[in-house]
Chains A and B, each alone.
Chain A
Amino acid sequence: MTQNLEPSVPEQHTLGASSVLFGNLKHGPIAIASLILVTIVLIALAAPILAGTDPLLIHPTERLRPGSLQHWFGTDALGRDVYARVVYGARTSLIVGTFAATASIAIGLAIGVIAGYFRVADLIIMRIMDGVMAIPGIVLAVALVAISGASLTTVLVAIAAPEIPRVVRLVRGVILNLRGEPYVEAAISLGTPAPLLLVRHMIPNTVAPLIVQSSFVLASAILSEAALSFLGVGLPPEIPSWGNIMSEGRKYFQLYPGLIFIPGMFLAVTVLSVNLIGDALRDVLDPKMAKRL
C-alpha cells in the first residue's frame, strides 16, 4: 500500500493525484474482504483445535462470567464458553449458508433452464415464482419451520426456498436471450437434441452471472440462518451458531452486551466480506449489471 501512496512511475501523475490514490484504494477493501473470509473459513475448519473446550459443556457454577484468560469471551447463562461457541458458530454459519446457497442455486438453475427453454412450462413456472416471491423471505421461512418443527433440514429448506425465485429469474433471462442467438439457431437447425443444446451451448453462459448471484445468495443465507436462530425459530438452541448465541444473550443484554456484540460482529463482518467479494466479482464478470448498480 505504501507504494501506491507514492507513485514512482511518472505517467501516473498525469492521471491526477486523486484518481491514482483512490483508483488503487478500490482494490483495498476487496483484499481485506478476501482476507477476512479466508480467516473465517480457517476458523471454521480448525474449530476443534481453536476452541480448546467443548462448546456444549455446561458449567452451572460459572454462569455469565466476564472475559478472562480461561474464557476469552466469558461464559453464557449456562456457563458454556462463549469463545468456543463463537468459533464453532463460524462452522455452523458457513456450513448452513453454503448448503442452502448451493441447494437454491442448483434447484433455481434447473427450474430456470426449463422455464427459459420450454414456453409452456415458462408460463406456469413464472406464475409460481411470482407467488413465492410475494411471500417475504423470513415469513416463508418461519411458516416452513412452524409446519415441520425446528430441525437442521427444515431450517436449510426454509433458508433455501425463498432464494430460489431470484435464481430462476436470472437463469431464465439468460436462456431466453440465448434462444435468439445465431449459433443457437444453427445448433437447433442441425438437429441438436434439446438436452445437449442446453448443456453444451446454453448453460455455460449462465455460469458467470450465477457465480455473482451465488455470493449474494450466500450472504443472504448466512443472514437468514442467524435471523431465524436469533428469533428462536431456527436451529435447535444447543447447536452453537452465531444466531443462537445472540438469541440466548437477549435476556442478559443490559448486563452482558458482549453476548450479542461478539457473535454479531463476526456475523456482520462475514456477511460484509461476502457482499464485497460479490460486488468485485460482478465488476469483473458482469460489467453491464455492475454499471447499473
Chain B
Amino acid sequence: MVSYIFSRTLATIPVMAIVAIIVFLLLRLSTGDPAAIMAGDAASPAQVEQMRHQMGLDRPIAVQFVVWINHLLSGDFGLSLHSKIPVWDMIAGRVGPSFALSISTIAFSVIVAIPLGVIAAWAHGTLLDRVAMSFSVIGFSAPIFVTGYILVFFFSLKLDWFPVQGYHPLSDGPLLFLQGIALPTLALSTIYIALISRITRSSLLEIMGEDFIRTARAKGATEFSVFLRHALRNASIPIVTIIGVGAAFLISGVVVTESVFNIPGLGRMVVEAVLARDYPLIQGLVLVFSFVYVVVNLIVDILYTVLDPRITY
C-alpha cells in the first residue's frame, strides 16, 4: 500500500511535466512575439527587449525551458505585469474563497446526490426514478451562469434571503460566510449532483444483481440494510471516481461561478488576468489549476485502495 502510494505519487511528475511543457510552448508557438506578450501591452520597445533577454529568447529553446522550469521549481512564477507583485503571492492570496467554495460544493453535492441516487435506484423504473434522473440530466445541461442568475433572481432579489453578490471569509463569522456562499454553492453543485446521483443509481443497480445481495436478502436482512449496508458500500468506488473526474468540471465551474457571484477567488482572477492581458499571472494560474486537478485525482486513486481492500497494486 505504501509502495503503491509512493509510485502513484511519482506518476504525477510526468503529467505535471507535460503540463509545464504545454504552458511553455503555448507562449512560444503563438503567432505573437512572446516577449511582447509577457511584457504586456503598455511596454516600451526597450522593455520588450529587456524581457526578451530575461526570458532568454535569444538562446536555444531547450535552454529557455531549463531556465524557466528552474525558476518555477524555486517558486518563482515571475511578477504580475500590472501589480508588479510576485505571481505566487497573488495566487496564494486568492486561494481561500475558491477553496471554501469547492469544499462546500463537494460536501453539499454528496449530501444531496447520494440519497437522490439511492432513491432512484430503489424506485427503479417508476415515475420517481424518472423524475430524479430527469433532474439529473437537466442539472447537467443547465449552464452554471444561467442557474446562478435564476437563484439570485428568486432568493436574493425576490425573497431577499441572501446577498446578490459578495463573499465573506469564515473569519467574518459563520453566518455571514454561509449567507455569502450558499447560492454559489447551490449553482455550482448542480453539475456535481447530476453526475454523482446518476453514477450512484447505476452502480447500485448493477450491484443489486450480485449474488451477495441475494444472500443478504435470503438471510432476512431488511431492504433498508441491503441497500445501505451491502450495496451502497460497494457502490462507493465508482462514486469516488466520479468525484475525481468531476474535479475538471468543478474547476471550470469555479471560474464561472466566481464571476457570477463576484467572489474574489482564483477563478475570477483568471478572467481578470485575461482581460488585463497579464500573461505571467495566467501562466501561474494554469499551472496551479492543473496541479490541483492532478492532486485531486491522486487522492481519489489512493482512496480506492482504502475503500476497497481487494484492490492491490
Residues on A lying within 8 angstroms of B by beta carbon are 18-19, 22, 25-26, 29, 127-128, 130-140, 142-148, 219, 223, 226-227, 230-233, 246, 253-254, 257, 260-261, 264-265, 267-268, 271-272, 275-276, 279, 291-293
Q: Is the CB of A267 within 8 A of B143?
A: yes
A-chain residues with CB within 8 Å of residue B21 when the two chains form the complex: 131
**Residues B282 and A128 in contact, CB atoms below 8 Å apart:** no
Residue of A nearest to B138 (CB): A272
CB pair A134 B290 closer than 8 Å: yes
Tell me which of A26, A131, A136 contacts B289 (CB under 8 A): A136
CA A276 to CA B132, docked complex, whole Å:
15
Chain B residues positioned under 8 Å from A292 (CB to CB) = 202, 206
CB distance from A260 to the nearest CB of B (A): 5
Residue of B22, B146, B279 ringed by the most chain A CB atoms within 10 A: B146
Which of B164, B206, B290 has the most chain A CB within a 10 Å cutoff?
B290
- 20 of the cross-chain contacts (CB-CB < 8 Å) are A18-B126, A22-B126, A25-B130, A131-B21, A134-B293, A136-B252, A136-B255, A139-B252, A139-B286, A143-B23, A146-B277, A147-B279, A148-B31, A231-B271, A253-B152, A254-B164, A257-B157, A264-B143, A279-B137, A293-B198
The distance from the CB of A86 to the nearest CB of chain B, in whole angstroms, is 14
Which residue on chain B has the smallest CB distance to residue A259? B149
- Please tell me the size bucket of the interface on B: 35 or more
Contact of A257 among B149, B199, B294 (CB under 8 A): B149
| Shortest Cβ distance from residue B12 to the other chain A in the assembled complex, whole angstroms | 9
CB distance from A205 to the nearest CB of B (A): 25
A146/B279 contact (C-beta < 8 A), A22-B127, A139-B270 known: yes
CA A173 to CA B285, docked complex, whole Å: 32
A35–B149 Cα distance when bound, in Å, is 27
Q: How far is the CB of B9 from chain A (nearest CB, A)?
A: 15
Which of B130, B255, B273 has most chain A Cβ within 10 Å? B255
Q: How far is the CB of A160 from chain B (nearest CB, A)?
A: 15
CB-CB nearest in chain A for B256: A227
A216 to B92, CA, bound (A): 35
Closest chain B CB from A216 CB (angstroms) = 10
Inter-chain contact A272/B286, CB cutoff 8 Å: no
Residues of B within 8 A of A219 (CB): 141
- Bound Cα distance from A142 to B293, whole angstroms: 17
B27 contacts A147, CB within 8 Å?
A: yes
Query: Across the interface, do A275 and B149 meet the contact criterion of CB distance under 8 Å?
Result: no
Task: Report the minimal beta-carbon distance from A91 to chain B, rounded to whole angstroms.
Answer: 19
Most B CB atoms within 10 A — which of A18, A132, A142, A233? A142
Binary contact track B270-301/A, C-beta < 8 Å → 1, others 0? 11011101010011011001100110000000
In the bound complex, do residue B290 and residue A138 qualify as a contact, i.e. CB atoms below 8 Å apart?
no
Q: CA A42 – CA B22 in complex, angstroms?
A: 40
Inter-chain contact A253/B149, CB cutoff 8 Å:
yes
B18:A130 contact, CB within 8 angstroms: yes
Residue of B23, B32, B252 with highest tally of chain A CB at under 10 A: B252
A22 x B252 contact (CB < 8 A):
no
Quick one: given A131-B21, A147-B30, A230-B145, are A138 and B255 in contact (CB under 8 Å)? Answer: yes
Residues of A within 8 A of B212 (CB): none
Name B15's contact: one of A131, A148, A254, A267 (CB within 8 Å): A131
A130 cross-chain contacts in B, Cβ below 8 A: 14-15, 18
A136/B248 in contact, CB under 8 A: yes
Query: Contact between A142 and B271 (Cβ–Cβ < 8 Å)?
Result: yes
Of the listed residues A19, A133, A146, the one surrounded by the most CB atoms of chain B closer than 10 A to its CB is A146
Q: In the complex, what's the smallest C-beta–C-beta distance from B100 to chain A, in angstroms?
A: 18
Interface residues of B in 168-216 (CB under 8 A from A): 198-199, 202, 206
Q: Are B289 and A135 in contact (CB under 8 A)?
A: yes
**Shortest CB distance A222–B (Å):** 9
Measured between C-beta atoms, what is the minimum distance from A280 to chain B in Å?
11
Are B137 and A272 neighbours in the complex by a CB distance under 8 Å? yes
Whether A134 pairs with B294 at a CB distance below 8 angstroms is: yes
Distance A273 CA – B276 CA, assembled complex (angstroms): 36
Quick one: which of B127, B141, B293 has the most chain A CB within 10 A?
B141
Answer yes or no: B37 CB below 8 A from chain A CBs.
yes
Say yes or no: is B259 at the interface (Cβ < 8 Å to chain A).
Answer: yes
Task: Give the docked Cα–Cα distance between A279 and B198 (Å).
Answer: 13
Q: Are A131 and B19 in contact (CB under 8 A)?
A: yes
Known contacts A226-B143, A292-B202, A146 near B256 by CB under 8 Å: no
